[in-house]
Structure 1
Amino acid sequence: MTAQLPGRIGRRTALAGLLALGAAACTSGAGAEGGAETGRAAGFPLELANCEATLRFESPPERIVLLESAPVTTLDGIGVLDRVVSRGGSFPPGYYDEDLFTRIEAIPALSEEIDAAGHLQINQEVVIAQRPDIVLGLPDGITREAMRGAGAEVLVQDVFCGTDGERARFETLYEEIGTYGRIFDRTGEAEDLVAGLQERVSAVARSAEGLRTTTAAALYPSLGGGPLYTYGAGSMVTAQLDALGIENVFADTAERVFEISAEPLLAADPDVLIVLHQGEGDGSDVVEEMIAQDQLSSLRAVTEQSVLPLLFNFCEPASPLVVDGVVRIHEWLHEIEG
């Protein structure tokens, strides 16, 4: 599943991300001894909680199957993207610089079929045939049990597990990167990546102090007449808007993402709209269809042309791309405010 909308992980009773992080810091009693064994990395075997599961790694994974696009910049940032043996989903060039996109394109694609709601369509047997050590992402039709039976653990983004009502923060991202650092035995690289991202977030927060925009909403429209979704307190969109000093008008809802009708959106009437989309193109066609099918033409943000189409991973889930995203939102706001 690429967009990770409601239906699987989002509605499960799950461990909070911070609990998962705490468990990640603990390894089995054999870990310290294992570091002395020939060829075994220090800290392994490693056990950590991820959603409702406990993952165990005897050593850092060497064969990654990537079933969502969000982890790309984390994997690249800690220097293990070359361990990805195959990928599934949408990887638009708009996310990456030319060099990184070239490297992604060189990774064999198992499936690029995405449904109208943003869900990856893929066959489980195709994934198993890749002989992965770890699978990143859990789209419909893929189960932890089957992957574990084939020798692979499945890692799901903590924000997809449920947040127990906690408001998303950029610390969510930093903790996610730390988890990847431990799994792949790249803790130093993870710390360096986090430090750079923290500097960028701090810089954009300082620069945003003069913005006049006070309210916003982020939307994900299902095309072809499907439902409209928006993002609440558990979404990284809320963390981005908080950093910019802007209120997410739906942050009083604890859910990360939920279906919405036109009426509450018209009642909230936010200053600006962020419309998330996937695939190639600038998203203007997605905005036009959403406005038409959901009767949103009277929204102040629409009439004042304060609508920003943005590729999905620039706002969701927690990856370095959300830092690129908050920078883009900030630059756009400065442009429309003149």
Structure 2
Amino acid sequence: MERTARRTAVGPLNRRTALAGLTGLVGLVGLTTACSSDAGDAGSPSDGASGSDAAGGFPLELTNCEATLTFETPPERIVLLESAPVTTLDGIGVLDKVVSRAGAFPLGYYGEDLTARIEAIPALSEDIDASGHLLISQELVIAQDPDIVFGLPDGVTREVMADAGAGVVVQDIFCGGGSERASFETLYSTIGTYGQIFDRATEADSLTTSLQERVAEVSDSVQTLTTTTAAVLYPSLGGGPLFTYGAGSMVTAQLDALGIENVFASTAERVFEISAEPLLAADPDVLIVLYQGEGDGMDLTQEMIAQDQLSGLRAAQEQAALPLLFNFAEPASPLVVDGLERIHEWLLELEG
């Protein structure tokens, strides 16, 4: 069988960023196109987000973290080792190419129809350890004969996947070294790259346009909000470390769209551990509390704000804390636009 993806170069990958152990999520943001067509091809894309036509777009070479991937033709067999790519793959019409999945796919992310289609995809493993990592053997992944794999949990390597004929795409934020303030352009670029990989440029453009319109609609209606500051937190179960999000996180892009200051956006890091003292000093108007798994997150949120060291926060005293499923805030996927709308609706109710 001729493979649709091959590795041309792979460098060492540092996946242990601050919250990698908590999220269990890896995916794709900001893949940059290194070579998509001959320079003289009139059908070649004008930029990285515009996709490529069937005649001139392949072989497609692109960079992901420190690896270079080459796709000879659009991939036909997808293995998902994380949930983040689902809504983008569905949005460009290639979710039916997913042959297997592994990890947690919380029902709270999807509508009834999409939930049914996800549940129809064979599950290789749903084992998640206490720190949020997927537990799976790469032999099981290889047995699915994938052309492309989304996600790189412990025990799975780019090199072995490449030798088996599969390109691996990893969420750019897990590669380390990023220092730019996040924006929704990150999302639109990601969608464009998906469109290139699967030769679905038209569908990618359409999805991007619809999301841009939704973001603009929220941004145009925020003048009525009186909330000016927020902090986005990720509490550990059982009273462990508390994490917050800085300029490199998509939650900062969401708050920017709402005209609200992320009180920790002066820190370039995407996510970092925080103590109670700087949080109390910032004393944000509202808290957004990210969580994973089933349920509505209220128990975890109440447990966090009831802690003695955080009970002095105005947001804790006023119960101004919104639990939000993780993928509604991170990483860059259409779900972050859903998350933006949910935050906006909650703020309107809170202030009403």
Do they superpose with TM above 0.5? yes
State the alpha-carbon separation in 2 of the partners of residues 245 and 199 from structure 1: 17
Q: Which deviates more from structure 2 when the two are superposed, residues 259-268 or residues 312-321?
A: 259-268
Residues 167 and 195 of structure 1, relative CA distance in 2, 3 Å threshold: same
Shift of 1:60: 0.5
User: Conserved in 2, the CA contact under 8 Å of 1:217 and 1:272?
Assistant: yes
The alignment status of 1:265 with 2:279, answered yes or no, reads yes
Q: Which runs of 5+ in 1 are unaligned?
A: 11-15
Helix, strand or coil for the counterpart of 2:154?
A: coil
Shift of 1:119: 2.3
Shift of 1:146: 1.2
State the alpha-carbon separation in 1 of the partners of residues 184 and 324 from structure 2: 19
Q: Structure 2 counterpart of 1:273, which letter? A: L
1:269-304 deviation line (CA, Å, top 9, x unaligned): 111111111111000111133335673222111110
The alignment status of 1:70 with 2:79, answered yes or no, reads no
State the alpha-carbon separation in 2 of the partners of residues 89 and 141 from structure 1: 14
State the alpha-carbon separation in 2 of the partners of residues 118 and 17 from structure 1: 20
Aligned counterpart for 1:116 among listed residues 114, 117, 130 = 130
Q: Which runs of 5+ in 2 are unaligned?
A: 1-14, 23-27, 45-53
State the alpha-carbon separation in 1 of the partners of residues 106 and 190 from structure 2: 22
Shift of 1:221: 1.5
Match of 1:6 in 2: 18
User: Conserved in 2, the CA contact under 8 Å of 1:232 and 1:253?
Assistant: yes
Helix, strand or coil for the counterpart of 2:299?
A: helix
Aligned counterpart for 1:139 among listed residues 146, 153, 172 = 153
Residues 152 and 96 of structure 1, relative CA distance in 2, 3 Å threshold: same
Q: TM-score when scaled to structure 1?
A: 0.89
Higher helix share: 1
State the alpha-carbon separation in 2 of the partners of residues 89 and 317 from structure 1: 16
State the alpha-carbon separation in 1 of the partners of residues 272 and 262 from structure 2: 14
Q: Which deviates more from structure 2 when the two are superposed, residues 261-270 or residues 90-99?
A: 261-270
> How many equivalent pairs are there?
323
User: Conserved in 1, the CA contact under 8 Å of 2:247 and 2:268?
Assistant: yes
Aligned counterpart for 2:108 among listed residues 94, 102, 105 = 94
Residues 314 and 5 of structure 1, relative CA distance in 2, 3 Å threshold: farther
User: Conserved in 2, the CA contact under 8 Å of 1:45 and 1:57?
Assistant: yes
Root mean square deviation of aligned Cα: 2.5
Residues 226 and 331 of structure 1, relative CA distance in 2, 3 Å threshold: same
Aligned counterpart for 2:305 among listed residues 266, 282, 291 = 291
Residues 192 and 232 of structure 1, relative CA distance in 2, 3 Å threshold: same
Residues 236 and 86 of structure 1, relative CA distance in 2, 3 Å threshold: same
State the alpha-carbon separation in 2 of the partners of residues 189 and 4 from structure 1: 34
State the alpha-carbon separation in 1 of the partners of residues 311 and 124 from structure 2: 39
Q: Give the share of equivalent positions with the same residue, in percent.
A: 74
Match of 2:223 in 1: 209
